[in-house]
């Protein structure tokens, strides 16, 4: 089975889609559906740049929490100008840097996860991330994942995908990622449901599927199976 999957991947990757000058691939979806995992794999295999918009929001949240700046305050341009976020790819790993410090693992902590939605819905923060992402795509092909990439940031993206999964399955995945037995799966599931509600009902750039996005329910699919579905869709279009 694994050998057949690898053959499919190899066949898809030999197909040339690369006659296009600049390509934008948007991967949106619910929390903990594997958007970043898929976006990274697609970017590496197509030799595109990758941007994790969620990591931008998490890095900003991490910075503001550590500087005691609450989400109910107005975040000034002066504060945001002090935030410098970079993504790198080296030796098979994507890393995210906040003001030259590697925060890749720290921004995935439980405290950031609990607070990121509240910061991410603020207009000034969304504008900051929007501008950062748009600038990244000025001269290079890009794979971007998030919640409003295909609807707001890159509404004219060449390819759009929207990933969904059952809340319980997403909670179990998040629990493994957190690797903290003191936090129960049921608690994480409720947090995910609340996150879905917050993301889908916020006034600015709510989570929703773009009309022309290809929806994939990843609940019962492996990482490689989702990867193949995305590549097949890119090829077929």
- Nearest CA among 47, 37, 24, 236 for reference residue 143: 24
- What 3 state SS string does 125-184 have? HHHHHHHHHHHHCCCCCEEEEECCHHHHHCCCCCEEEEEECCHHHHHHHHHHHHCCCCCC
Tell me, what's the pLDDT at 184? 92
The tens place of each residue's pLDDT in the chain, 237 residues long, gives 554 554 455 445 444 444 447 899 999 999 999 999 999 999 999 999 999 999 999 999 999 999 999 998 889 999 999 999 999 888 778 999 999 999 999 999 989 989 998 999 899 999 999 999 998 888 789 999 999 999 999 999 999 999 999 999 999 988 888 878 888 999 999 999 998 998 899 888 899 999 999 999 999 999 999 999 999 999 887
Tell me, what's the pLDDT at 182? 84
SS3 category, 100: coil
The CATH code for residues 22-227 is 3.40.50.300
Tell me, what's the pLDDT at 7? 45
Tell me, what's the pLDDT at 44? 92
Report the alpha-carbon distance of residue 143 to residue 52 in Å, rounded: 9
Q: Which pTM does this prediction carry?
A: 0.83
Report the alpha-carbon distance of residue 184 to residue 148 in Å, rounded: 29
Report the alpha-carbon distance of residue 143 to residue 50 in Å, rounded: 5
Report the alpha-carbon distance of residue 126 to residue 204 in Å, rounded: 8
Tell me, what's the pLDDT at 9? 53
SS3 category, 76: coil
Report which secondary-structure segment, H or E, holds 123. helix 123-136
Tell me, what's the pLDDT at 178? 80
What is the rounded end-to-end Cα distance, in angstroms, of the chain?
26
């Amino acid at each position: 089975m694994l050998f057949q999957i690898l053959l499919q991947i190899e066949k898809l990757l030999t197909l040339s889609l690369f006659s296009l000058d600049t390509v934008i691939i948007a991967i949106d979806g619910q929390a903990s559906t594997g958007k970043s995992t898929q976006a990274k794999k697609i970017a590496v295999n197509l030799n595109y740049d990758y941007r994790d918009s969620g990591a931008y929001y998490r890095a900003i949240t991490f910075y503001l929490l550590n500087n005691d700046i609450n989400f109910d305050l107005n975040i000034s341009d002066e504060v945001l100008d002090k935030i410098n976020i970079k993504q790198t790819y080296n030796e098979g790993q994507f890393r995210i840097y906040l003001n030259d410090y590697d925060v890749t693992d720290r921004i995935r902590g439980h405290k950031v996860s609990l607070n990121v939605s509240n910061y991410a819905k603020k207009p000034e923060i969304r504008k900051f991330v929007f501008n950062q992402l748009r600038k990244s795509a000025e001269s290079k092909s890009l794979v971007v994942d998030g919640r409003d990439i295909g609807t707001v940031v890159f509404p004219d993206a060449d390819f759009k995908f929207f990933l969904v999964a059952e809340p319980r399955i997403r909670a179990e995945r998040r629990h493994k990622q957190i690797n903290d037995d003191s936090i129960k799966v049921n608690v994480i599931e409720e947090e995910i449901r609340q996150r879905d509600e917050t993301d889908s009902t916020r006034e600015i750039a709510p989570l929703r599927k773009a009309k022309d996005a290809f929806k994939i329910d990843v609940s019962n699919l492996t990482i490689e199976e989702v990867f193949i579905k995305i590549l097949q869709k890119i090829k077929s279009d």
